[in-house]
Amino acid sequence: MPADFNLKSYLSDLPNLPGVYRHIDEQGEVLYVGKARDLKRRVSSYFQKTLSSPRIAHMVARVARIEVTVTRSEAEALLLENNLIKRLRPRYNILFRDDKSYPYLMISAHQAPRIAYYRGSTSGKGHFFGPYPNSWAVRETIQILQRVFRLRTCEDSVYANRSRPCLLHQIGRCSAPCVNLISPEQYQLDVQRAISFLDGNTAEILGELQERMMQASDSLDFEQAAMLRDQMKALSAVLQQQSMEQVGKEDVDIIVVLNAGGKFCVNLAMVRGGRHLGDRAFFPTQINDDTPSDVLAAFIAQHYLERRMPPVLVCSHALPDADLMPLLAEQTGVKARVVVRPQGVRKIWLEQATKNAGLALARVLSESTARADRTRALAEALQLDLDEAQLDALHIECFDISHTAGEATQASCVVYKHHEMQNSLYRRYNIAGITPGDDYAAMRQVLNRRFSRVAEGLAPLPDIVLIDGGKGQIEIARQVFVELGLDIHVLVGVAKGEKRKVGLETLVFADDRPPVALGVESAALMLVAQVRDEAHRFAITGMRAQRAKTRNVSRLEDIDGIGAKRRQRLLARFGGFSGVADASIDELSAVDGISVELAERIYHALR
């Protein structure tokens, strides 16, 4: 603590109210974020003579100041705590990768609804089922619905312009509502049966199909009877495949925590409508002496604040905090029950999820060992004397510039840390105000924008800053760092070899060190190439997207009758250029200010 900071006085002034506290070190870095029902009691507990663990003692020794935020309730504190953890990523909090969304299966709200793979908000029109653990599980379910209920999957623009059935109808995967081979009423019945199936009412659907088949047979409608027989056969096959997984209609998440080799794996298996949809493994970072129960609690808190929670959670460990589930219920509106010692089929699910967690953990441990070896090789090549903890925290950033003949210049920054690429920390920079094609000016601009924050003390300096380029680019980087007063020893340029042949790259430096040729078989070069190639990929994809956006806007404005206002209305109505290009004439003409004649002109111009 600073000499002028009176800890005893500060603690005595804290309120006995719910809120969030932040432990901060001398450099202003947030070390830990926590919530409390009683801020005074909770924060004071960190400064007792006997602490609960060595990790807590190590953290408290680095605390320079404490900040608190009072909230109206403990549930509100839980929400704020997790928002701050995701934004600040404190080094003493358990962190999970922030996956933006899970996939859903959507049945649209059209007159002839389509089934589709979907990501995004589920507050719109239509029916949404999930979330699913991965895209494969969604696509497998779509195939089941095609085989059994023969629902369409085609885009609206394709559906609106069909004049004859497509191949999916010919192979028995679609009933062709596009050309009226099935009545709208009958198609809607199939849609309702599909929804009922996804809700877990499989036995009722099978009985209904059998009854309809018998009625069709008695009416001598043998073609209809044969179609219903085939639907029953397909549904029976699905049920037989999943007979070990069916247990009523419930929605359940199974969560297993395993640890080995200093790593934790949290395996999440999802059951929806009684169907086991698969599982997904998560690997939290910044684990110290946390227990499996601590990791489980961190996962549940971070995962379900933004995602739908099922009514039952089957867990491998008990939660350490009895207040967590009531707090989540208050915040999310879902009262979930935690089952720790399941019986019957739930026990089978838990055992299977545990096996899958073990397999995933073994795979990651094997891969992480190889990645750690490459990190160590690079550190040795650069003569960095690091222990294991410092090696794991080695922070590398790599910069690259991309453009097409000076058009849509973009710079990329990718980050490598904890022996893997950190996608959530990637950045792109639009470069403007330079001579088109001037890579040196582009590099100067991006480095100034990125490292001015470091010079102001608002962000840490990476251990290694890789520049994709040779002596010219590294000289620009040296000039920027000197102007900003930063350490130039972290700058490393990646100069391409003769004829740009992979494996002949040379590392060049901004200080007086001689260039280093790592050699084709070098593990260090493999890491440098991986990071460099990722920066190149990230820059190119950003540049292409920017270029396409510019050119697509130009394509719209080149159409006679489309000005800035109409272009904005079209892009807003259809969610971007691709939506406009896929829209039918009727859909285009429904936009304010777009006549049928202009809609036809747009439709044909974009084909």
What local confidence, expressed as pLDDT, does residue 3 receive? 53
> Both tokens of residue 88?
């600040």
pLDDT score recorded for residue 464: 94
Helix axes 184-198, 202-218, angle to 10 degrees: 150
Domains of the chain: 7-88 (3.40.1440.10), 108-241 (no CATH), 252-362 (3.30.420.340), 390-546 (3.30.420.340), 558-605 (1.10.150.20)
Q: What is the rounded distance in angstroms from the CA atom of residue 147 to the CA atom of residue 231?
A: 7
pLDDT band of residue 410 (cuts 50, 70, 90) is confident
Q: Does 554 score more than 70 pLDDT?
A: no
* Cβ atoms 543, 410 nearer than 8 A: yes
pLDDT of residue 499: 56
Cis? peptide before 320, omega within 30° of 0:
no
Task: State the pairing for strand pair 396-404/464-467.
Answer: parallel
3-state secondary structure 221-290: CHHHHHHHHHHHHHHHHHHHHCCCCCECECCEEEEEEEEECCEEEEEEEEEECCEEEEEEEECCECCCCC
User: Does residue 484 have a pLDDT over 90?
Assistant: yes
Local confidence band at 523 (pLDDT 50, 70, 90 cut-offs)? confident
Whether the model clears a pTM of 0.85, i.e. scores above it, the answer is: no
Confidence of residue 474 (pLDDT cuts 50, 70, 90): very high
> Residue 249's pLDDT band (boundaries 50, 70, 90)?
low
The answer on pLDDT for 50 being more than 90 is no
Per-residue pLDDT, 138? 84
Q: How far apart are CA 327 and CA 102, in angstroms?
A: 23
Task: Measure the N-to-C terminal CA separation of the chain; round to a whole number of Å.
Answer: 67
pLDDT above 50 for 541: yes
Amino acid occupying residue 19: G
**Above 90 in pLDDT, residue 461?**
yes
Confidence (pLDDT) at 253: 92
Contact status, residue 436 vs residue 424, Cβ threshold 8 Å? no
Strands 312-315 and 252-260 come out as parallel
Which is more confidently placed, 591 or 317?
A: 317
HEC assignment per residue over 453-505? HHHCCCCCCCCEEEECCCHHHHHHHHHHHHHHCCCHHHEEEEECCHHHCCCCC
Helix (H) or strand (E) run with residue 388 in it: helix 388-392
To 10 degrees, the CA torsion angle through 564, 565, 569, 570?
Answer: -40
Closest to 117 in 3D by CA, of 107, 126, 541: 107
The confidence band for 495, taking pLDDT boundaries of 50, 70 and 90, is confident
DSSP 71-103: -SSHHHHHHHHHHHHHHH--TTS-B--------
Separation CA 276–CA 286 (nearest Å): 31
**Chain position carrying tokens 């903890």:** 389
Q: Which two tokens stand for residue 330?
A: 């208050």
Higher pLDDT, 210 or 342: 342
Within 10 angstroms of residue 204's Cβ, the number of other Cβ atoms is: 12
CA dihedral (134, 243, 353, 306) positive or negative: positive
Q: Quick one: which of 424, 412, 436, 435 has its CA closest to 545?
A: 412
Check: CB of residue 267 under 8 Å from CB of residue 360.
Answer: yes
pLDDT of residue 243: 39
Q: Write the pLDDT tens digit of every residue in 303-341.
A: 888 788 889 999 999 998 888 888 888 888 888 899 999
Which residues are within 8 A (CB) of 557 and not within 5 positions of it... i.e. 6 or more apart? 563, 564, 567
434 burial (CB, 10 Å; 0-12 / 13-18 / 19+) is: middle
Compute CA 119 distance to the chain's CA centroid, rounded to the nearest angstrom: 11
Asked if pLDDT for residue 383 goes beyond 60, the answer is yes
DSSP structure string for 131-199: --SSHHHHHHHHHHHHHHH--B---HHHHHT-SS--HHHHTTS---GGGTSS-HHHHHHHHHHHHHHHT
Confidence of residue 241 (pLDDT cuts 50, 70, 90): very low
Q: What share of the chain is helix, strand, coil (3-state, %, to 5)?
A: 50, 20, 35
Query: For the CA atoms of the chain, what is the radius of gyration?
Result: 29
Residue 69 in this model has a pLDDT that exceeds 80 = yes
Name the CA dihedral angle for 183, 189, 195, 201, rounded to a multiple of 10 degrees: -150
pLDDT at position 537 is 87
More confident residue, 33 or 162: 33
Quick one: average pLDDT of 546-564? 62
DSSP label of 114: B
Mean pLDDT, rounded, for 157-162: 83
User: Which long-range CB contacts under 8 A does 350-355 form with residues at least 24 apart?
Assistant: 350/254, 350/256, 350/314, 350/316, 352/269, 353/254, 353/255, 353/256, 353/267, 353/269, 353/279, 353/316, 354/256, 354/258, 354/267, 354/316
Q: What is the pLDDT of residue 120?
A: 79
pLDDT of residue 312: 92
pLDDT value, residue 317? 93
Q: Tell the residue number behind the tokens 């720790």, with chain if given.
A: 340
* pLDDT level of residue 254 (50, 70, 90 thresholds): very high
For the residues 221-229, what does the mean pLDDT come to? 70
* Residue 572 confidence class, pLDDT cut points 50, 70, 90: confident
- Asked if the model's pLDDT at residue 226 lies above 90, the reply is no
Comparing 241 with 301, the larger pLDDT belongs to 301
Residue indicated by tokens 């707090």: 327
Surface-to-core class of residue 533, CB atoms within 10 Å of its CB (0-12 exposed, 13-18 middle, 19+ buried) = middle
Kindly state the tokens that stand for 345.
């089929």
Question: Which of 348, 298, 289 lies closest to 319 in space, CA to CA?
Answer: 298
Closest CA to 46 of 28, 29, 61: 61
Q: Where are the beta strands (DSSP E) in 471-605?
A: 491-495, 506-509, 516-517
Q: Output the average pLDDT for the chain.
A: 82
Cα atoms found within 13 Å of the Cα of residue 385, Cβ hemisphere only? 0
Q: Where are the beta strands (DSSP E) in 378-473?
A: 396-404, 407-417, 420-421, 427-430, 464-467
What was the pLDDT predicted at 601? 80
- Region 87-114: what's the mean pLDDT? 82
Q: Confidence band (pLDDT; 50, 70, 90) for 413?
A: very high
Higher pLDDT, 510 or 100: 510
Whether pLDDT at 347 is above 80:
yes
Residue 65 is predicted with a pLDDT of 86
Task: Answer yes or no: is pLDDT of 405 > 70.
Answer: no
pLDDT band for position 248 (50/70/90)? low
536: pLDDT confidence band, cut at 50, 70 and 90?
confident
Query: Assign residue 124 a region: left if phi > 0, alpha if psi is -120 to 50, beta otherwise?
Result: beta
pLDDT-based confidence at residue 214 (cuts at 50, 70, 90): confident
Q: What is the mean pLDDT of residues 589-596?
A: 83
Query: Would you say residue 562 has pLDDT above 70?
Result: yes
The confidence score (pLDDT) of residue 233 equals 66
What is residue 576's DSSP assignment? S
More confident residue, 206 or 470: 470
Rounded CA separation 244/483 (Å) = 67
Q: Would you state the pLDDT for residue 489? A: 93
